[in-house]
A and B are shown apart, each in its own frame.
Chain A
Amino acid sequence: GDSVTQMEGPVTLSEEAFLTINCTYTATGYPSLFWYVQYPGEGLQLLLKATKADDKGSNKGFEATYRKETTSFHLEKGSVQVSDSAVYFCALSDAGNNRKLIWGLGTSLAVNP
């Protein structure tokens, strides 16, 4: 079945460092891909999404490009801030049922000042 493999954490960076969190997937068909973020004490929030190959999702300085050839959707940010400290989840929804999300394990990010 469909699955998502996400880079293991925790990831610890200094402020203004470059961030990459790897995400690869296996799916039949053409899924939509998502990054969700969970800040401490808050619920999961959609950070960005991409619905077809070569789409780039972006939000709050984060970007991820839907790469069909490598089945990847890596999350990147050029300069992280302390406020980016959170857990990041990669997810996909299968083409036939956009409501059912398949999740990665989550990657915890801690940014130090």
Chain B
Amino acid sequence: SAVISQKPSRDICQRGTSLTIQCQVDSQVTMMFWYRQQPGQSLTLIATANQGSEATYESGFVIDKFPISRPNLTFSTLTVSNMSPEDSSIYLCSVELWGAWGNNEQFFGPGTRLTVL
């Protein structure tokens, strides 16, 4: 398993500003994922971040709006740029590791609750 921490746990931001969310894992992982969970909606994958390469973004998400860094095997950041109230959401990072089920599974951080005014 993995212990994943996220900072900040929550924040309230003004329209037009940017927020960087940090994700720290207690073990080295190749693949990290960033999700968004908007109010009343399911989780949506934003991008997949592999160490040493550019992040791969899902349809509807672009690097200019959600730049991602992956400087090493235990850390990643997601920036929400030029925020609007529509960006109010919970942002989660996850990692893929060999799990108790005998194959790869995803482990999740506690999430960052973002409110944009």
Contacts and interface: CB of A to CB of B under 8 A. Distances in A.
A4 interface: yes
Contacts of B68: none
A31 interface: no
A43 B92 contact: yes
Interface string B88-117: 000010101001010011111111000000
Contact of A101 (B31, B99, B106): B106
Contacts, number: 45
A43 B109 contact: yes
Interface in A31-48: 36, 41-46
Instruction: Give the bracket for the number of chain B residues in contact with chain A.
Output: 20 to 34
B101 A46 contact: yes
Given A99-B31, A99-B96, A101-B106, A43 B4 contact: yes
A49 B110 contact: no
